[in-house]
Structure 1
Amino acid sequence: MTKTWKELNETQPEVMTMLKNSITKGRVAHAYIFEGEKGTGKKETSLAYAKSLLCENPVDGYQPCEECSNCKRITSGNHPDVHSVEPEGLSIKKEQIKSLQEEFSKKSVESNRKIYSIVHADKMSVQAANSLLKFLEEPQSDTIAILMTEQIQRMLPTILSRCQILPFRPLSPENIKKKLIEHGVDGQTAAVISRLTHNFKEGLQISNEEWFAQAQKIVLKLYEVLKANPMKALIYLQEEWFLHFKEKEQLDRGLDLLFLIYKDLLYIQLDKRNQVIFQNKQGEFENHALHISQRRLADKMGHILEAKRKLMSNTNPQLLMEQLVLNLQEGSSFV
C-alpha cells in the first residue's frame, strides 16, 4: 500500500523535511540509509522519494503528483529506472548486487536518474556487502541508492560512512491509535493496542485476534481478584490464567496488559486522567487509586517489569507468575 507525501509527513516529519530539502536545495545524496523499526514507513518513503525525483509535474517542486506516467509506474513497480533488491532466502547474495550493478552501468532508459533500493540491507552476505561497497565508493552522478534496515548495527562501518543516515522514529501511540480507529477498531481497544506496539500492521492484526480480546478480560479479572480477595489469586492462575497464556510471547503480552492497569492508577494519582488507557474502567480505578500509595504502586509496577525480565531469561513461567502474584498481594494489596 502506497502512502502520500502528506501521510508520511504526519508520521515521520523529520525524515520528510530532510528529503524535501534535499530536492528543493539541490542536495540529493548518492546514497541513503533508512533505519528504524519495522512498520515505521521506510519502504513507503523510499517509493515516495523515488516518485518525487522522477515526477514529471511535482507539486510545490518536491511532492509527487501521483498522476503522471512515472509516478504510476513506480507505484505499480514497473518503472525501468527504479529497481529493488530483497533477500533471497535468508540473505542478499553477491550475484544480486552484481546484477544490479550491471543494470545500472547502462544509461537511464527514460529519466536522468536511476534509483535502487535494498530492503533489509543488513542481510547482505559479506561478499554482497563488499560488492556494494565498490559501487558506493565510485558513485555515478545519476544513481541514487536507498538502503533500508531494522538492524543498522549489523552493517559494515565502511558502508555506513558513505551514506546519509535517516533515522525513522517509532510511530507514536497517538498515531497508532488514530490509524486503528480509522480502520474500524473501537477506541478502547485501539488505546490499549497503541501502548503495546509501534507497528500499525501488527496492531491491526492484534485487534482481529479473539485471543487478545479474551486476554484483556482475563488480565482485568486477575487484577480484580488481587484487589478483592488476594488469597484466591493463585487459584485464579490455575483456573483461568495458565489456560490462556500458554506461550512465552503470550505471557509477555499478559504482563504488558497488567502493567498498563497499574500505570492507569498512577496516571489518576498524578491527575493525568486523559492518559488513562482503560477509560471504560476509570470510575473503578479512581476509587482504587485513593487506597494505594504511590510508593506501593511503584513497587507493584517494578515487580511486573522484573517478571518480564525473568521471563526472557527462561525462568519457569508458572513459578514466575505465582511469585509475581505473591509480590503483588504482599501485605494488604492496597496499602
Structure 2
Amino acid sequence: MVKTWEQLEEMQPNVLKMLKNSIVKGRVAHAYLFEGMRGTGKREASLLLAKILFCENRQKDVKPCESCVNCKRINSGNHPDVHIVEPEGQSIKKEQIRLLQEEFSKTGLESRKKLYTIVHADKMTINAANSLLKFLEEPHSDTVAILLTEQVQKILPTIHSRCQIVSFKPLVPEILQNKLISNGVHPSKALLLAHLTNNFEEALSLSKDEWFAQAQKIVLKLYEELKKKPLEAMVMLQVDWNSHFKEKEQLDQGLNLLLLVYKDILNIQLGKFDHVVYQDYKHRFEQHALQTTGLRLAEQMTAILEAKRKLQANVNLQLLMEQLVIKLQEGSSFV
C-alpha cells in the first residue's frame, strides 16, 4: 500500500526527518538497514527514498512530486533502476544476490543512479549474505542499498556494520485505532486490533474475519472458566480451544488475546482505565481486579509470554496449552 510523505511522517517522524536531512546535506548513505516491527512502514519508507532520489520534480523540502513518470513507475514497481529482492520460499538465496550484482554491474538504463531493496534481509542464506557483503564492501557510485528486517539480531555483524541503521518505532496504537475507525471498524474492535498489530492491512482484515471474532469469544470463555470453574478449563481446551487454534500462528494469536485480558486487569488495578482494551468487559474485570494481586497478574502474564516463546520451538500445542492452564490456575510462572 503506497503511503504519502505526510502519512509516513505521522507514523515515523524521526525517520522522515533523518531522510530529509540526508538529502538536503547530500549525505545519502550507500547502504541502509531499516529495522523494526512488522507494519511500521519500512517498505513504504524504502519506496519513498527511491522516489526522492529519482523524482524529476522534487519539491524544495525534498518531497517527491508523486506525479512524474519516475514516481509513478516506482509506485507500480516498474522502474528499471529500482530493484526489489524478496525471499523465494523460506529464504533469499545466493543466486538471487548474484543476479542482482550482475544487474548492478550494468550502467543504469536512464541515469547513473540505481537502488535496490532486500526485503526480509534476515532470511538470506549464509552464502547469500556473504555475497551481499562483498557487494557492500565495494559499492558502485550512485548505488543505494536498503535492507529491511524485523529481526535485526539475525543480520551478520559484518553487514550490520556497513549499513546506516534506521530504527522504526512501534506505532502509537491511537494512530492505528483512529485509522481503523475511519475505515468503518467499530471503535471497541479497533482498540483491540490496534494493540495486537502495527499493520493496518492486517488489522482491517482481522476486523472482517469470522475466525478472529470467534477466537475472541473462546479466549474470554477460557479466562472465565479459569476464574470460576478451574477443573472445567481443561475440558474447554479439548472441546473449544484446540479445535479452533490448530496452527502455531493461530495459537500465537490466541495467546496474544489472552495476554491482553491480564494486562487489562493490571491496568485497572493501576487506575489506568483508559488503557483497557476489552472495553465491553471493563466492569467485569474491575471486580476481578479486586480479587487478585499485581504480583499474581505479573506471574500469569509471564506464563503466557513463556508459552509464546516455547511456541517457536517444535512443541506439542495441546500439551503446551495444558501446561499453561495449570500455571494460570496456580498463578505461578513456568519453571
For residues 22 and 298 of structure 1, the distance between their equivalents in structure 2, rounded to whole angstroms, comes to 44
For residues 126 and 262 of structure 2, the distance between their equivalents in structure 1, rounded to whole angstroms, comes to 47
Provide the secondary structure at the position in 2 that maps to 1:196.
Answer: coil
For residues 90 and 247 of structure 1, the distance between their equivalents in structure 2, rounded to whole angstroms, comes to 18
Question: Which residue number in structure 1 is paired with residue 17 of structure 2?
Answer: 17
Question: Which residue number in structure 1 is paired with residue 164 of structure 2?
Answer: 164
Shift of 1:260: 1.6
Structure 1 114/188 Cα, relative in aligned 2: closer, same or farther at 3 Å? Answer: same
For residues 100 and 188 of structure 1, the distance between their equivalents in structure 2, rounded to whole angstroms, comes to 46
Residue 69, structure 1, aligned to residue 59, structure 2: no
Question: Which residue number in structure 2 is paired with residue 120 of structure 1?
Answer: 120
The higher radius of gyration belongs to: 1
Shift of 1:64: 0.6
Shift of 1:119: 2.6
Residue 223, structure 1, aligned to residue 199, structure 2: no
Question: Which residue number in structure 2 is paired with residue 78 of structure 1?
Answer: 78
Shift of 1:88: 4.1
For residues 94 and 324 of structure 1, the distance between their equivalents in structure 2, rounded to whole angstroms, comes to 42
Shift of 1:272: 0.4
Question: Which residue number in structure 1 is paired with residue 251 of structure 2?
Answer: 251
Q: TM-score, normalised by structure 1?
A: 0.84
How many pairs align? 331
For residues 100 and 317 of structure 2, the distance between their equivalents in structure 1, rounded to whole angstroms, comes to 49
Contact kept, 8 Å, 1:32 with 1:147, in 2: the verdict is: yes
For residues 20 and 88 of structure 1, the distance between their equivalents in structure 2, rounded to whole angstroms, comes to 33
Question: Which residue number in structure 1 is paired with residue 143 of structure 2?
Answer: 143
The RMSD of aligned alpha carbons is 3.0
Provide the secondary structure at the position in 2 that maps to 1:166.
Answer: strand
Shift of 1:282: 1.4
Residue 33, structure 1, aligned to residue 45, structure 2: no
Shift of 1:90: 4.6
Structure 1 35/305 Cα, relative in aligned 2: closer, same or farther at 3 Å? Answer: closer
Question: Which residue number in structure 2 is paired with residue 283 of structure 1?
Answer: 283
Shift of 1:146: 1.8
Residue 297, structure 1, aligned to residue 329, structure 2: no
Identity %: 64
Please show how residues 89-128 of structure 1 align to structure 2 within 5 Å: 89-128=89-128
Structure 1 145/224 Cα, relative in aligned 2: closer, same or farther at 3 Å? Answer: closer
- Counterpart of 1:14 in structure 2: which amino acid? N
For residues 313 and 125 of structure 1, the distance between their equivalents in structure 2, rounded to whole angstroms, comes to 20
Residue 46, structure 1, aligned to residue 21, structure 2: no
Q: TM-score, normalised by structure 2?
A: 0.84
1:269-326 Cα offsets, whole Å, 9 max, x none, are 1110000001111122223323333344334434444554555566655455455445
- Counterpart of 1:79 in structure 2: which amino acid? H
Please show how residues 205-224 of structure 1 align to structure 2 within 5 Å: 205-224=205-224
- Counterpart of 1:193 in structure 2: which amino acid? L
Q: After the TM superposition, which of the residue ranges 197-206 and 27-36 deviates more from structure 2?
A: 197-206
Shift of 1:24: 1.0
Structure 1 262/38 Cα, relative in aligned 2: closer, same or farther at 3 Å? Answer: closer
Q: After the TM superposition, which of the residue ranges 231-240 and 17-26 deviates more from structure 2?
A: 231-240
Residue 198, structure 1, aligned to residue 198, structure 2: yes
Shift of 1:89: 4.5
Q: After the TM superposition, which of the residue ranges 87-96 and 179-188 deviates more from structure 2?
A: 87-96
- Counterpart of 1:178 in structure 2: which amino acid? N
For residues 95 and 322 of structure 2, the distance between their equivalents in structure 1, rounded to whole angstroms, comes to 54
- Counterpart of 1:46 in structure 2: which amino acid? S
Provide the secondary structure at the position in 2 that maps to 1:78.
Answer: coil
For residues 93 and 238 of structure 1, the distance between their equivalents in structure 2, rounded to whole angstroms, comes to 42
Contact kept, 8 Å, 1:54 with 1:111, in 2: the verdict is: no
Residue 176, structure 1, aligned to residue 181, structure 2: no
Structure 1 289/54 Cα, relative in aligned 2: closer, same or farther at 3 Å? Answer: same
> Mind listing any 5+ residue stretches in structure 1 that lack a counterpart?
none
> Mind listing any 5+ residue stretches in structure 2 that lack a counterpart?
none
Shift of 1:91: 4.3
